[in-house]
Structure 1
Amino acid sequence: MGPRRRRWRRRAVKAALVAVGSALVVLRRLLAESRQHRDILQGDFRDSYANLTLKTLLLLSWARACCSGTPFLLKADDDVFVNVPAVATALSAWPAIPPRLYLGRVHWSVAPNRDPRSRHHVPVDVYPGSRFPPYCSGTAYVLSRQAAIAVLRGAAGLSPAVPEDVWVGLGAARAGLYPRHWARFGGSQRVPPGRCCLGRALLSGHRVRPPKMRRVWGEIAGGDGGCGGLMGWGALGVLRCRVMAWGDWLWGGGDGGDDVMGE
């Protein structure tokens, strides 16, 4: 985990890594890591895809109890690149941010997966509805502190046996909180290579391996030259990056986009 910490720490940004383990050697390593960086939360449940909702519940509960001075919470998966300083700058530049902000790449009118063989399976007795309420992609989303508290209250009593991002969306809907779409979060969509897209026009990208994350940080540190106009950060810049991603995928026989963000 050491190399992943490079360049990621910034003032006024609090980060926490959720980790679980049962072996004594793992616990000792966690203790040493916690003493060094003071950013680990340990939950009493097995680390598995099925327990992602429990991880998010742990994170939100910890943030409510320990981060009273933090206006925003950013949740991101470990294979997601997020330009955290740029996200903070963009939020600070908004003229009026709603107190209860739930921000990300929104999924609308998603039907529950009823296939018991799928890891996204949602039984009818857990959620009988035909469509989920709108929710932000779990790859990366932002909650204001008030929104996080509202989600926790709204999700009280909800079964964790639904995908993590759906669980947050259900809790938000029960609290009367609706997600706000932000196109600059990539979600699970394809993001092309190049310093003007990932990290600038688009502030998050999914399925990015650590070597690529380090390269992107290096490219961002090199300045913004050549990224103005249609290469910029506004709606046209986002659209341009989307078109590039799908062009890479189509012309490359399906090998562009996500794959080129790896090694």
Structure 2
Amino acid sequence: MFFVGCHLSASKGYLAMGKTAVKIGANSFQFFTRNPRGGNAKALDVADVEAYLAFARENGIGPILAHAPYTLNACAADENLIRFAEKVMREDLERLAYLPEALYNFHPGSHVKQGADVGIEKIAALLNRVLTPEVKTPVLLETMAGKGTEVGRSFQELRQIIDRVELQEKMGVCLDTCHVFDGGYDIVGNLDGVLEEFDRVIGLERLRAVHLNDSKNPLGSHKDRHACLDEGEIGIAALEKVINHPALREVPFLLETPNELEGYAKEIAWLKELRKAD
């Protein structure tokens, strides 16, 4: 099944996002769990969730991706920010328990000159405090471009985090095509090699979602600036190979391209045309 979608606004609730997804030809979507710059989450509307779940079943909407706010820094130097990150993650996972098809994605964080090793230890420690046997939602570490002091700029750093998590069965990875390209992984010239390295270091069984984006900057730039499909340095030919690669065909693909809904609808239609039959 080809699950493809984009980032939608959660301001009007889950049912509204589901209806918007169907309207633009999507059967998956991503949303922020709260304002991406931080703050409190809106009160959970259980009736809206139940209405969405019924709508999703009727319309074939598959896995959806909940994205933590950008302000969640699990390896901050400031302990108040660590406590905020833990509070947000606990709240988000409690709410996502109502959405059995959801995945939870977050940026590992920035070590802010503490060093990557310290950052990795702090991220894993937070996950060990938050993840319990009762948590059902898979938690995904996102591959990062390596901007500034970001942790997660390599598959090895993500693996080091996972290795330190006690309940590793709850952990996965979201691969962002812009981020890995900017991070130096040549998905244009050597997609097979990149995925072989991912499998060797992390394991393809942990790859649960893909952010499908072009990049405004060249390979290895460490910039993290997304571009619309075929308007960047990756190009549509390489992204076509991504959506059709045997190792990736079953994961949801979520667009984070700089688009409004009309642009997303066009890109989703384009991707459906490029997708080879199962």
Give yes or no for TM over 0.5.
no
Q: Point out the structure with max Rg over C-alpha.
A: 1
With normalisation by structure 1, the TM-score equals 0.29
With normalisation by structure 2, the TM-score equals 0.28
